[in-house]
Homo-oligomer: A and B are copies of this chain.
Amino acid sequence: MEILGKSLVGFHDSASTADPFNAWNPASGDKIDAAFFPATPEDIDFAAKLASEAFSTYSRLSGREKASFLNRLASHLESITDLLIARAHSETALPEPRLKSETARTCNQLRLFASVIEEGSWVSARIDQAAPDRKPLPKPDIRSMLHPLGPVVVFGASNFPLAFSVAGGDTASSLAAGNPVIVKAHPAHPGTSELVGRAIRDAVRDQGLPEGVFSLLFDSGTEVGARLVQHPLVKAVAFTGSIPAGRALMDLAVRRPEPIPFYGEMGSTNPVFILPGAMAARGKEIASQLHGSFTLGSGQFCTKPGLVFLPQQNSSMNFLPELQDKVTRSPKLILLTSSIRNSYQRELQNRKGRSDLAVVAEGEQPASGPAFLAGVAVFQTDVASLLSSPDLGSEVFGPSTLLVRFSNQPELLNAARSLSGHLTATIHGTEEDLQEFSELLQILRDKVGRIVFNGYPTGVEVCHAMVHGGPYPASTDSRTTSVGSQAIFRFARPVCYQDFPDSALPAELKNSNPLKIWRMVDGNFTHCEL
């Protein structure tokens, strides 16, 4: 499959000849062949119009029809796995085994949403039956279910070129709910994006769907994204990336004449709390696994543990030596882009120069050169310093973490209360620790979307109960998740039908319950007919 560098506007390739940009190989720092042409304002408008037209057809498809499309798309992606992995590896330097599992995950996500919409209960059907004899007024028949919102704009993320990108979770959940999607490709992996985009276009065509169900637009800057978010035909936006970029786009979305939902999954430092009992029992093991977690994917996971609270009185003789050993022996790692590398190096220099931080250990540090290389580094401070410099709690994107010593439980609880919103929090403890620090769990419940016990936050299971989100600034909408089957709820809203004849109701709400879905009938869950 040849890479053309053209935006995919429905079934059309953009004719843009504006200043092109290239992808870069992070391992060598070299440009990768193939120029990518930014989408034009006309491309954006055309993509939005096609999407809006497609909505009237696509939104009315049955769950089974949409599921067939998503399953076909997963098969298309699998058929080009080798091509995808090779291209993604050259554009991101992520290891091939990781990219292989990310491809599998991407296909699994598509199939999970296919299974959810094929089963059909996700529409949250509710039926309250009429009571014509009720006094003083008759009770009407009221039936509600979720309907899709309209065209959705998805922003590809830099750090997951497949699972959070063109055919990633946002696209899958949006398509599953019945919404056409316009993806703004991340400029760090445009070739991967184009390959995936063509696979989606093929699936749209093979399935006989209107072309506007999917478009893919390129841009190396911010203009195309800003225009998309403000286009009147766009009805929701999903974004994964940094806090400044996410907030800027959110501000555009909510300041529109017609404000629209904006789902930004942004920065997070993912605090870890190592309680005394766990430290005594498993200090060495935790040190080793923590090192694996904060250096995974070169520390470029949004769930990377970047803040680790541990007792001042080290109840383990093994934690620190093990961590220092692991870090010192860490090779230099490749980051995704030169800009990520530069920010990371700048923040490392900044932290090294601070009097309230100490360097615990450093790995091999790269000499300057064209490749996007960085070294592992671990810092240490105490709760008082963190409380007086809350910026220490900000995300550092790359393979570094910060240990924070606490001297007693009240100090730790204070630190926990001071946290802003995060995607995750992790507690390492024995059952006794959990009882002794029970207040900690209660505090964290109000701070994050996911609380992990005796594990590591990296690795986000794609399942029905997953919550990948959290209070601001972890996300712009804590009421939702961007991973797992509940992500579909972001792109739908309830509509109710009052006193409609059975023949005019959607299948989900008909008396006979032809889809055999779970419904709430007069307040009780049932999958029976009325």
Contacts and interface: CB of A to CB of B under 8 A. Distances in A.
A142 B479 contact: no
Contact of A140 (B101, B455, B497): B455
A448 B459 CA distance: 40
A149 B446 CA distance: 8
Given A150-B446, A442-B60, A128 B463 contact: yes
Interface string A465-493: 11101011100111111000110010011
A89 to B, nearest CB: 19
Query: Which 7 A-B residue pairs are closest in the complex by CB-CB distance?
Result: A126-B465, A467-B496, A128-B463, A144-B465, A254-B254, A142-B465, A452-B498
Contact of A465 (B127, B441, B451, B473): B127
A143 interface: yes
Contacts of A473: 258
B450 A504 contact: no
A479 B467 contact: no
Given A467-B494, A496-B449, A497-B453, A461 B259 contact: no
A55 to B, nearest CB: 8
Contacts of A493: 449, 469, 471, 478-480
Contact of A449 (B137, B453, B494): B494
Contacts of A19: none
Number of copies: 2
A379 to B, nearest CB: 27
Contact of A466 (B144, B149, B421, B499): B144
Interface stretch (A197-205, A286-294, A517-525): A517-525
A250 B259 contact: yes
B453 A499 contact: yes
A498 B453 contact: yes
Interface residues of A, number: 82
Contacts of A494: 449, 467, 469, 479-481, 486
Contacts of A448: 495
A501 B434 contact: yes
Nearest to A112: B523
A331 to B, nearest CB: 23
A231 interface: no
A143 B472 CA distance: 22
B101 A136 contact: yes
A450 B495 contact: yes
A464 B498 contact: no
B434 A464 contact: no
Contacts of A449: 493-496
20 contacts: A56-B442, A115-B523, A144-B465, A258-B471, A259-B476, A431-B503, A438-B504, A445-B495, A449-B494, A449-B495, A450-B496, A450-B498, A453-B498, A461-B498, A464-B520, A464-B523, A466-B496, A471-B493, A480-B493, A486-B494
